[in-house]
Structure 1
Amino acid sequence: MKLAETVTFGGGTLDRAAELRGTDLDAAARMAGGGTILMWRGKPLVCAGALAPLMRLPLDHPVLGGARRVLLGRREDGTLVFAHDISHWTPADMPGTLDSFADPTEQSHPDLPDAVFAELRRIMVLLDAEEAAEAATARALFGWHDIHGFCARCGAPSEIVQAGWQRTCPSCGAHHFPRTDPVVIMLVTDGNSALLGRSPGWPEGMYSLLAGFVEPGETLEAAVRREVYEETRVPVGEVEYLASQPWPFPASLMIGMRGRALGREITIDPVEIEDAIWVTRENVSDAMAGRHAFLMPAREGAIAQFLLRNWLADRLD
């Protein structure tokens, strides 16, 4: 798919500068300039009001004291970009919607005027390609560290090394690296129609493409056929790859696929999904324009809407 890398989070050009991860990062930062983006509980710091662009702080900013640090990479101008996490800070009013499907809250730090922390899923389409890719990488890395503080081999506390791209166990010497879970998300079509489903708890009327994790020993094609059949009993024949999207909520790689349905009869698995329907191109077009009687489009910025929009425009090649 020619437009594959225009998907949200997929258009960054940052050089990850892996050769610097084991060096003196303080010295490298002084030589290469650069700054840092700031995260709190998975939320990036952005300009208040506009919610874009990302705020970039100098590396000697006092708010960074005690923060975790990772090196994201090197920009095209040669400057380095870091990410810091201050999740140890507790705001006066702790929201109860953190990491939810749609968290509308914003948090202001007293030492950061004119800036707020905002949910990345809410603001992802407001960021340019470079900012979105950097924020997604930072969220994914810090999220991995949050749940991998102990060695998976012996259970001892592990330590952050390699500029945040590795954890090492001082007890048994095991090395642990950030993981990404492959997820197939399928544009299953039959002529002028596409198969959509919805999960419990989604906003009323919202339908999206079917998706599911790839299991051990499975090809992407086999995962597509299995997931669609498990959820809807619709058999799928020909399958092809379209595009992928890093999805750091918390650690997935969404792998966009197209499948050709071999039947149209739907029998849903209520454990997996709440509903599934066939929709026409006209239905999807009306939903995206806000004209459909009940159908809401998939979330803007998600690969599901990206694939559906390109399907409407005949740009899947």
Structure 2
Amino acid sequence: MSAFDTFPLGQPAFVSHILDRAAHLRGDDAKLLALEQRPDARAYVVQRDSLVVKQEADGPRALLRIDEALNFGANPGTIFLGLREGAAVFGMGISAVAVEKLLPRSDVAVNELRGMAMQGVVPPDQLSAIAMAKSMVNWHQRHGYCANCGTRTAMKEGGWKRDCPACKTEHFPRTDPVVIMLVTAGDKCLLGRQKQFPPGMWSCLAGFVEAAETIEDAVRREIFEESGVRCTDVSYYMTQPWPYPSSLMIGCTARATSEDIVVDRAELEDARWFDRTEATLMLKRQHPDGLAGPHPFAIAHHLVGRWLQTDAGTRA
């Protein structure tokens, strides 16, 4: 199965959710403990950008039994992610020291999540739950102390809150909004390159929404700051949770009112216009110069693909 089959147009990674979040259970410690102790309880174990998986004959298994997770060295604290067919699913962290001990083993692997998602190693319908686990575990690891007074905080509400025992401040996980947009000018679309991209890869421009800023203003500002292109007619397409570390990609389109490009080299390595033919070849990985568009697991691929499909339908 190809990446195009795994993530068909309009269905990037991390958007198909298999869990009932069951938020009403988060405040019931006794109930959560009982669910965790049931034999059907499962957990995703994450360490930074990687996932611990059990190696089996038919491939790696990401959803571990609680006893398996603990035996692999996962931290005992669990984050309640939700219910799957009545069974509880949790997120668990694991230390770098414990991961080092796992590396020589043949029955377990610690693999980078992005690579597994792109290769279709993990079932696509599990990626959203894994993204939740990754975001939440990383949040707890980075927010162990009160930002108000510096006191060590305690996990509450099934892992969805941290309380400060000293100043009583409540801390909640945050999601950072990011606009990602395809700007078009007639039969051309604007794509950019960042220094960390693989050779030949181009993608949509993107940036964080700032305080007291609308999505539309963020799109116009980011496009102008990074490329010098002015745009209008901003439209919303779809969103994609993005667990790096915990963002929400807000996919948009816009129409350019200017075409001269002035690249901000601090943000981009380059930016340029691509016509429909080039963009099609890039998404299919068939460009004669080896240029490539974004991978189907990312929303940027679907922004470009939707534009090409809509344009083709208009011209048919």
CA shift for structure 1 position 32? 8.6
- Whether contact under 8 Å (2:45, 2:91) holds in the other structure is yes
Which position in structure 2 is the counterpart of 1:231? 226
Taking a change above 3 Å as real, the CA distance of residues 65 and 115 of structure 1, as seen in their structure-2 partners, is: closer
Which position in structure 2 is the counterpart of 1:98? none
Which position in structure 2 is the counterpart of 1:298? 294
State the alpha-carbon separation in 1 of the partners of residues 52 and 58 from structure 2.
9
CA shift for structure 1 position 53? 5.1
Taking a change above 3 Å as real, the CA distance of residues 72 and 109 of structure 1, as seen in their structure-2 partners, is: farther
Q: Which amino acid aligns with 1:68?
A: G
> Are 2:115 and 1:122 aligned?
yes
> Are 2:53 and 1:60 aligned?
no
Among 280, 305, 309, the alignment partner of 1:309 is: 305
CA shift for structure 1 position 128? 2.6
State the alpha-carbon separation in 1 of the partners of residues 312 and 237 from structure 2.
7
1:35-46 mapped onto 2 (5 Å cutoff): 35-46=42-53
1:101-250 mapped onto 2 (5 Å cutoff): 108=103, 110=105, 113-125=106-118, 126=120, 127-250=122-245
* Aligned residue-pair number: 299
State the alpha-carbon separation in 1 of the partners of residues 10 and 305 from structure 2.
15
Q: Which amino acid aligns with 1:83?
A: G
- Name the SS for the 2:66 alignment partner: coil
CA shift for structure 1 position 16? 0.7
- Name the SS for the 2:97 alignment partner: coil
CA shift for structure 1 position 218? 0.7
What is the CA deviation profile of residues 126-182 of structure 1, one whole-angstrom value per residue up to 9, with x for unaligned ones?
133331011100110011112111111111111111111111111111100000110
Q: Which range moved further: 275-284 or 79-88? A: 79-88
Structure 1: which 4+ aligned runs deviate by more than 6 Å?
Answer: none
Richer in helix (by share)? 2
- Name the SS for the 2:224 alignment partner: helix
Which position in structure 1 is the counterpart of 2:16? 11
CA RMSD in angstroms comes to 2.6
What is the CA deviation profile of residues 215-255 of structure 1, one whole-angstrom value per residue up to 9, with x for unaligned ones?
11111000000000111111111001001111111111110
CA shift for structure 1 position 272? 1.7
- TM-score under structure 1 length normalisation: 0.86
What is the CA deviation profile of residues 247-279 of structure 1, one whole-angstrom value per residue up to 9, with x for unaligned ones?
111111110000011121111111221110000
CA shift for structure 1 position 311? 2.1
